[in-house]
């Protein structure tokens, strides 16, 4: 099972980046090309019944599998980045993280009105990041088709914050 393989490979780092957080370090996954391919195929398989026009990946770990997933789905990839990184005109959203606060941005011409967007990140924690990403998608007149994660920390109930977007939430390994 893919979930077991992911859980066996991910490294838990206690008290990173601050006390009380158990950080799920996915870098060991990247050292295993077979597992990376299986993850990409599994992410794509979960989305088989979704209509997706674009994959939006969230900086920075959403950039690891997001572009590969977009290629498998044969759709464009767009980056949602931390403030100050994108070179062209952007729109912004600020949000609270499991640890701290942040602002994310997207290029104002990244999406067309009516496009159905898959929002992808490595991990769903409180959901603050993907709520902010969803607001960016909607500000550009597009809609959220689905959410896709490698890992979800289900005990933080991040999924509950996404119900208003009426999009399915997928993950490969839940804790
Ligand atoms: P959230 O907005 O709370 O859902 O946090 C999700 C974002 O923060 C993702 O980009 C994750 O990569 C990162 N993140 C939050 N908590 C953790 C954690 N315990 N382990 C690894 N990454 C995390």
Does ligand 1 come within 6 angstroms of the Cβ of 136? Answer: no
Q: For residues 148 and 46, is the Cβ–Cβ distance under 8 A?
A: yes
Ligand 1 mean position, distance from CA 83 (Å) = 17
Q: Residue 159 region, left (φ>0) first, then alpha (ψ -120 to 50), else beta?
A: alpha
- Please report the domains of the chain, with CATH numbers, ordered by start residue: 50-174 (3.40.50.2020)
Which residue in this structure is represented by tokens 């920390």?
Answer: 153
Strands 90-96 and 101-107: antiparallel
How is residue 135 written in tokens? Answer: 């607001």
How is residue 63 written in tokens? Answer: 């950039």
What are residue 38's phi and psi, to 5 degrees? -65, -40
Which residue in this structure is represented by tokens 């006390």?
Answer: 19
SS3 121: strand
Does ligand 1 come within 6 angstroms of the Cβ of 135? Answer: no
For the chain, give the number of residues.
175
Residue nearest atom 9 in ligand 1 by C-alpha distance: 123
How is residue 148 written in tokens? Answer: 């896709």
Residue nearest atom 15 in ligand 1 by C-alpha distance: 125
Strands 168-174 and 143-152: parallel
Tens digit of pLDDT at every position of the chain (175 positions): 999 999 999 999 999 998 999 999 999 999 999 999 999 999 999 999 999 999 999 999 999 999 999 999 999 999 999 999 999 999 999 998 766 789 999 999 999 999 999 999 999 999 999 999 999 999 999 999 999 999 999 999 999 999 999 999 999 999 9
Does ligand 1 come within 6 angstroms of the Cβ of 121? Answer: yes
Angle (CA) 64-28-121 rounded to 5° is 30
Ligand 1 pocket: which of 94, 97, 147 to mutate (most atoms <8 Å of CB)? 97
Q: How many CB atoms lie within 10 A of CB 102?
A: 16
């Amino acid at each position: 099972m893919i979930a077991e393989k992911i859980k066996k490979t991910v490294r838990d780092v206690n008290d990173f980046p601050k006390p009380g957080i158990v950080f799920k370090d996915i870098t060991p996954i990247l050292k295993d090309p077979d597992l990376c391919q299986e993850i990409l195929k599994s992410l794509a398989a979960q989305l088989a019944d979704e209509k997706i026009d674009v994959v939006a990946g969230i900086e920075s770990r959403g950039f690891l599998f997001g572009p590969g997933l977009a290629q498998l789905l044969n759709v464009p990839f767009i980056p949602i980045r931390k403030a100050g990184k994108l070179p062209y005109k952007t729109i912004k959203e600020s949000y609270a993280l499991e640890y701290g606060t942040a602002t994310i941005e997207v290029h104002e011409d990244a999406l067309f009105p009516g496009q159905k967007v898959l929002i992808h990140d490595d991990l769903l924690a409180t959901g603050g990041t993907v709520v902010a990403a969803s607001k960016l998608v909607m500000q550009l007149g597009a809609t959220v088709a689905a959410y896709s994660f490698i890992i979800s920390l289900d005990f933080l109930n991040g999924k509950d914050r996404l119900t208003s977007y009426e999009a399915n939430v997928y993950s490969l390994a839940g804790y």
